[in-house]
Chain A
């Protein structure tokens, strides 16, 4: 990995590298001459100051898979829907993140300001979905605590709630998707402040594709994927455990903590195994044993000592 220190990198400075065309738009573009490409999604290079492999010896999953197979219910509930629909979304610019609640200094940040808070680095993490598939992704970002420190949480702040951007004009309605929007997720304060909890702005050396949560998302590698909220535009410090989307929708299936736990099955499938996408014969995926905390126990298990993780799943 080439590592270039560029502390003054601004999000808006990064150079557009390539216009990605999905098949349909490509057809439209080639078939209807003179028609401008609607909402071309742009990926831009992001340089990083360092790269850490926290994925172990495992092969990084291809970018095609990571950006072609997503759960992002606002853009459709099928796995291929977000790759099809999200690129049409024009990410608002400037992107702002409103931070408030139990803090001394509530503040709204724009993305350029956030990018300056800490050196942007690459971290390779394993990513385990609650649906028993997994991938290995080279994310780009820095620890979320760099941002959270800025607003000085009060003594009352025990949890942090995150909201995903929502625009009913271009996204599914809550009735269609079956879950409330704006999508909400949450972490305990110590989890949110943990160094592994990444505030992500990119992957594979570039800014995030829309379907992967552009322009700003969380990555919490020891929890099921749905905790790693996408397209965050609001962060609220709260005193009591927030009502998060999936935990509220089906409390018996998705817990608030949702730490990766091979012993605690989902009612409809086992969590003891996972299918690593993109590997094996004809890319059909290989079965792997799921590891407690997705293998990040050394760093995070201490936060849960004395807790019954079968009850607090």
Chain B
């Protein structure tokens, strides 16, 4: 297990596998087979993969601990960057194909439609994380600060779920599912952090004479 996890090829495989959704949708485009409403279809398709990759990314650390496989962390950055990659495609489809890059129309949508506002916030929140995902940035920021910054990812994932929740008409099963997954991941993190905290020191002020 740990051998597979530390192999260079696993990473290469995961990289190629993560491009499969893109390859799939591009091949459907070439077959002129993007359903009756192609823009809607590819918007939904890329949105789905953004939220899935966010969940994969967030699942890495809990899985690492539960399975006792520290090597899993090697894949976290790539998964996170794929979440951002599909998120950017999702945004580009909306802005270029749906809104024809009309700044006025786009701005109005962002201000007026809550689900767009929230989606936009999620993607903007992920941007500094994508930029600082390199080893160089970890060094520059110092691990503690870097780690603190990257906790934003939970907020972004929550915004992603809210975005999805706001945009469905009445069938909330899928946003509910992502909400439940995210809650479970957060509860896990919280329990771990509670356990890890050192016992509170006895607070006896120095020099107090009883």
Contact = CB atoms under 8 A, between A and B. Distances in A.
Contacts of B114: 268
B35 interface: yes
Given A176-B173, A269-B113, A282 B32 contact: yes
Contact of B170 (A64, A80, A179): A179
A275 B37 contact: yes
Interface string A93-110: 000000000000000000
- Of listed B32, B36, B115, B170, residue having the most chain A CB within 10 A: B36
* For the complex of A and B, 3 pairs with smallest distance between CB atoms: A178-B170, A69-B36, A77-B171
8 contacts: A80-B35, A177-B171, A267-B113, A268-B113, A268-B166, A269-B113, A282-B38, A284-B97
A79 B173 contact: no
Nearest to A249: B170
A69 to B, nearest CB: 3
Best-surrounded residue of A73, A176, A268 (most CB of chain B within 10 A): A268
Interface in B4-38: 29, 32, 34-38
Given A268-B166, A268-B167, A65 B36 contact: yes
B36 A77 contact: no
A213 interface: no
B39 interface: yes
Interface of B: 29, 32, 34-40, 97, 113-115, 166-167, 169-173
A284 B39 contact: yes
B180 to A, nearest CB: 16
B209 to A, nearest CB: 67
Given A79-B37, A268-B114, A268-B167, 11 more contacts: A77-B169, A176-B173, A178-B172, A250-B170, A267-B113, A275-B39, A277-B36, A278-B36, A282-B29, A284-B38, A285-B37
A283 interface: yes
Contacts of B37: 69, 79, 133, 275, 277, 285
Contacts of B172: 178
Interface of A: 64-65, 68-69, 73, 77, 79-80, 133, 176-179, 249-250, 267-269, 275, 277-278, 282-285
Max chain B Cβ within 10 angstroms of own Cβ: one of A177, A278, A283: A283
A76 to B, nearest CB: 9
Of B32, B37, B114, B115, most A-chain CB atoms within 10 Å: B37
Contacts of A285: 37-39
Contacts of B166: 268
Contacts of B170: 73, 77, 177-179, 249-250
Contacts of A79: 35-37, 40
B171 A176 contact: yes
A32 B89 CA distance: 40
Contacts of A282: 29, 32, 38
A250 B168 CA distance: 12
Contacts of B29: 282
A205 to B, nearest CB: 20
Contacts of A179: 170
Contacts of A269: 113
B126 to A, nearest CB: 23
A293 B34 CA distance: 30
Nearest to B44: A78
A250 to B, nearest CB: 8
Contacts of A133: 37, 40
Q: Which of B114, B166, B171 has the most CB of A within 10 A?
A: B171
Contacts of B40: 79, 133
